[in-house]
Amino acid sequence: MATTIKVVTRSAPKADGTYALVLRITKDRKSSYIPIGKSVSLEDWDEVACKVRKSHRNSVRLNNLIAQKLAEASDTSLELEAKKKDVSAKFVAKKIKPKKGVTFFAVANEFVENMKKEGKYNRVPTDQSRLKNFKTFLKTEDIDFTEITVPLLNRFRAYLKGDKKVSERTIVNHLILIRTVYNQAILADIADLKSYPFGRGKIQIKIPKSSKIGLTREEVQKIEELELPDPKMNHARNVFLFSYYFAGVRISDVLRMKWSDFQNDRLFYSMGKNDKPGSLKVPAKVSKILDQYRGDERTHDLIFPELKVVEDMTDQYTVERKISYGVKTLNKHLKSVAKEAKIDKPMTNHISRHTFGNISGDKISPQMLQKLYRHSNITTTISYQNNFIHKTADEALDAVLGS
């Protein structure tokens, strides 16, 4: 006897009064049931047509999910019967039954938990917020991977832009997170590549280019020459200039710097982002900054104070959290420094990296800049530095205007 598969409701209601939808697999008058993960009220269920009535607000999406589940179950059943004619309903159900954590948010929550364990403090709250936005848009607690389609993601993009009023880069970051979770599910054999909504002819993610504005040499000089009696402003300036003097070393690496990283008038450190090692000579200006901290308590051998409050430096999550707090405080004081120097530009610690790029311009070879920036690929260096090289464009404009 052939296997029959259809979607039905459970006989007993759930606590909220709705009835769970299940795949009923019948063979030789024996049936097995697989939950779909959705439920509806009996008023919204067409028992004859085995579909959700239009009275349900999500009828189209639920019926698409039902059709998808029926198709997958039928394909599996046919494959089993082709290989082995004598298979029971229970055996078919076992092969069709989804694995634990099959839904999108189940995989997404595990992804976030793994980031916590890896100490990625900055990404955890940000990605949790993005997942919350996706859940709010869906108006449901969870969603099957097969339901994440190109039309759905296009509607989500429009929702973020129209309702949430977020930037294009923020929209892209939401889509990148969804794609990352989907990829994790495919690798875990939870989601099917055939339903993948990203790639050529589907949702393509392009990171928009942002303008990078750095300080000029004259503006850096203004900051260097400021008289700053406020110790917090002075400390913020020191950290900013320390980063700039070492070719825009990232603030997270600056705050991790130890006295032992300085040997024989050179700095030896590995960049946290890609673990690339390197060495640079210590400029005289850096030595003057270091002199201001030599008398401080050398907790964990750290130079700067932001991480000295951390008890266990191997606890990466706590370290990242303290770095995040420290950067916010430093950036707040940098705004005051910029005001004192009469600089009308964004002033954050990350601008120190842009400042080095702006001042270096086309004066240094791409290969040397790659080494200074610790980029793994020179293409990244060229793309980054193109933000600061305007000479060719300026000369072309002058040639046309005759000035």
How many residues make up the chain in this entry? 403
pLDDT for 205 beyond 70: yes
> Among 147-151, 165-169, 218-222, 390-394, which is the least confidently predicted range?
390-394
What burial class does residue 13 get, using C-beta atoms within 10 Å of its C-beta: 0-12 exposed, 13-18 middle, 19+ buried? Answer: middle
And the tokens for 52? 């959700």
Mean pLDDT over the full length of the chain: 84
Domain boundaries, the chain: 4-96, 104-195, 217-394
CATH topology agreement for domains 104-195 and 217-394: no
So what's the pLDDT on residue 127?
Answer: 94
Sign of CA dihedral 109, 111, 114, 118: negative
Question: Rounded CA gap, 51 and 63, in Å?
Answer: 6
Spatial contact of 359 and 258, defined as CB atoms under 8 Å apart: no
Please say whether the structural domain 104-195 has been given the CATH code 2.60.40.
Answer: no
Mean of pLDDT values over 24-29 = 81
Question: Rounded CA gap, 131 and 9, in Å?
Answer: 30
Query: Taking the CB of residue 377, how many other CB atoms lie within 10 A of it?
Result: 9
* Residue of 194 and 382 predicted with greater confidence: 194
Whether pTM exceeds 0.95: no
From the list 109, 107, 88, 113, the residue with the least C-alpha distance to 31 is: 88
Note the pLDDT tens digit of each residue in 81-122.
Answer: 666 656 666 666 665 555 545 689 989 999 999 888 888 888
Question: Rounded CA gap, 237 and 225, in Å?
Answer: 11
Tokens 């598969």, located at residue: 5
pLDDT for 276 beyond 90: no
So what's the pLDDT on residue 278?
Answer: 75
> Helical H runs in 84-167?
89-96, 104-117, 123-138, 150-162
Which residues are paired to 20 by β-bridges? 39
Mean of pLDDT values over 284-292 = 94
Note the pLDDT tens digit of each residue in 313-330.
Answer: 988 889 989 999 999 999
Give one word for 264, left, alpha or beta, with left for phi > 0 and alpha for psi -120 to 50: left
Question: Rounded CA gap, 269 and 180, in Å?
Answer: 31
Which residue spans within 229-296 are E strands per DSSP? 262-263, 266-270, 277-281
So what's the pLDDT on residue 100?
Answer: 47
Question: Rounded CA gap, 36 and 39, in Å?
Answer: 8
So what's the pLDDT on residue 64?
Answer: 87
**pLDDT band (50, 70, 90) for residue 33:** confident
* Residue of 91 and 183 predicted with greater confidence: 183
Q: Which residues of 306-340 are buried (b: 16+ CB within 10 A; e: fewer)?
A: bbbebeebeeeebbbbbbeebbeebbebbebbbeb
Question: Rounded CA gap, 345 and 351, in Å?
Answer: 10
DSSP per-residue letters across 173-234: HHHHHHHHHHHHHHHTTSS-GGG--BSTTSB---PPP-------HHHHHHHHH-----HHHH
Sign of CA dihedral 145, 151, 154, 156: negative
**pLDDT band (50, 70, 90) for residue 360:** confident
> Among 64-68, 97-101, 240-244, 371-375, which is the least confidently predicted range?
97-101
- DSSP letter at 140? S
From the list 243, 242, 249, 353, the residue with the least C-alpha distance to 287 is: 242
The domain defined by 217-394 folds into hpI Integrase; Chain A (1.10.443)
**pLDDT band (50, 70, 90) for residue 76:** confident
Note the pLDDT tens digit of each residue in 226-269.
Answer: 999 999 999 999 999 999 998 888 899 899 999 999 999 898 87
